[in-house]
Amino acid sequence: MDNLFLDVTERYVDESKITQIEYHSFLPFSTTALSRNDEIRFSISESGSYTLPSHSFLNIEGKITKGSGSLGEIRFINNGLAHLFSECRYEINNTEIQSVRNPGITSTLKGLCSYTESDKNALFNAAWDITGDNCDEFVEKGFFSGCIPLKHLFGFCEDYKKILINTSQQLILNRASIDFDSLVAHGGGNEEQLKKHEGSKLEITKIVWKMPLVKVSDEEKLKLLKVVDSQKPLSLAYRNWQLCEYPVLPTNTSHSWSVRSCSNIERPRYAIIGFQTDRKNSYSKSLSMFDHCNLKNLKVYLNTEAYPYEDFQADFTNSKVALLYNAYCSFQKSYYERDWSSPLMSKHDFMNKTPVVVIDMSRQDDNIKLSNVDIRIEFETTSAIPEKTSAYCLILHDQIANYNPFTGDVRKL
């Protein structure tokens, strides 16, 4: 430490490796095919530029027209912009890196566990308002405008924070077939009045992919050119998000759900499970809320290994959800490898609005070489599961891909 005080000859070192970051706008192939069931495709072929997809975002503008005779207001539900799409795909050099089915539910489950109290104001720009589920100020005079960061939709953009060199990129968005799941009616009165909202129309008038292009100093540019000339593949390590759905659960008090089988390379590290009762295709219920369905206990099995080891023993009737809420709060510490947690939801809101179950499976014996991993969920409830109840399981698992900036080859392991 003393040497730091005495080294008066130390020289100033300029470490301005990045000289400029500019956001460039990229339009879809067709600026008019933005209606329901349309495919919205973007392509970035800036092969000579350095792009930073982790900081890119979608800028969406549109308008909502109320149906004739409808009362009250039509508002976005929480995370309503993401619910406008049925699938999102991200590609590098025409090779799929990540595909997210039902991005509204997927990003809602992930965001509820990842975001913190300090993110609330920034999230409102993406139509997030989980506390009131109104987004009452997001639509002004029938028009809306918002921005969705791509790290909100793709695990690749959240985890891979480096630039891409000498690559083309494609983003494909499939519009949902209906708009009911993005909107909710407020002040509409009885069920008959709510049906009049079905004539309401949502229209996207503009959608732009904003991608930052990075400019570097001459010294850094030479280093990056040497990386390209070496013809060695670069590794892309990230965590993939895969949503599995059980459309209609049987009306009993216990159930076993064989979710899926995966390879040993794609071992699941976390599972986020939520239940919804009769929330699809409705103007009166939000698709970003979840129902507890009087859940008592839930376990995830990887082959024969159970997670968690001990039971939750929840009792929503008597507000005994401490272990479930603790698992929800602990996600940020484990997933982001930090010592602190600032959950987005309070215990009260968690119990009444978003009672999701978080299962941490990050600690596994990877020395056991198994060709396949079977994922099974078993759960119990204190009363029969209501009719029209769906179950969702978001699996977060490891994924590795390689790309060669010299040849353009991309390969997922």
CA-CA distance, 126 to 138, in Å (whole number)? 9
Residue type, 305: E
In this predicted structure, the answer to whether residue 56 has a pLDDT above a threshold of 80 is yes
Is 239:269 a contact under the CB 8 Å cutoff? Answer: yes
pLDDT over 90 at 199, yes or no: no
Q: What is the pLDDT of residue 18?
A: 85
pLDDT for 191 beyond 60 = no
Q: CATH for 18-234+403-412?
A: 3.90.249.10
* pLDDT of 1 over the 70 cut: no
Q: Which pLDDT band holds residue 218 (cuts at 50, 70, 90)?
A: confident
**Torsional sign, CA 339, 128, 243, 308:** positive
Please give, one letter per residue, the 3-state secondary structure of the chain: CHHHHHCCCCCCCCCCCEEEEEEEEECCCCCCCCCCCCEEEEEECCCCCEECHHHCEEEEEEEEECCCCCCCEEEECCCCCHHHEEEEEEEECCEEEEEEECHHHHHHHHHHHHCEHHHHHHHHCCCCCCCCCCCCCCEECCEEEEEEEHHHCCHHHHHCCCCEECCCEEEEEEECCCCHHHEEEECCCCHHHHHHHHHCEEEEEEEEEEEEEEEECHHHHHHHHHHHHCCCCEEEEEEEEEEEEECCCCCCCEEEEEEEEEECCCCEEEEEEEEEECCCCCCCCCCCCCCCCCEEEEEEEECCEEECCCCCCCEHHHCECHHHHHHHHHHHHHHCCCCCCCECCCHHHHHHCCCCEEEECCCCCCCCCCCEEEEEEEEEECCCCCCCEEEEEEEEEEEEEEECCCCCCEEEC
Task: Please give the pLDDT value at position 263.
Answer: 73
Backbone angles phi, psi at 402, to 5 degrees: -125, 145
Q: Is the pLDDT of residue 36 over 70?
A: yes
Whether the predicted pLDDT of 149 surpasses 90: yes
The pLDDT confidence band at residue 369, using thresholds 50, 70 and 90, is: low
Question: pLDDT band for position 188 (50/70/90)?
Answer: low
**Domain residues of the chain, as ranges?**
18-234+403-412, 237-401
Choose which CATH entry (2.70.9, 3.30.9, 1.10.3470, 3.30.1490) describes domain 237-401: 2.70.9
- The amino acid occupying position 201 is K
Share of the chain above pLDDT 70, in %: 90
Q: Which of 99-108, 126-135, 401-410 has the lowest mean pLDDT?
A: 126-135
Give the pLDDT band (50/70/90) at residue 141: confident
Q: How far is CA 69 from CA 18, 65, 74, 136, in A?
A: 56, 12, 13, 21
pLDDT of residue 51: 94
pLDDT digits (tens, 9 = 90+) for 229-245: 999 999 999 999 999 99
Do 237-401 and 18-234+403-412 fall under one CATH topology?
Answer: no
Residue 41's pLDDT is what?
96
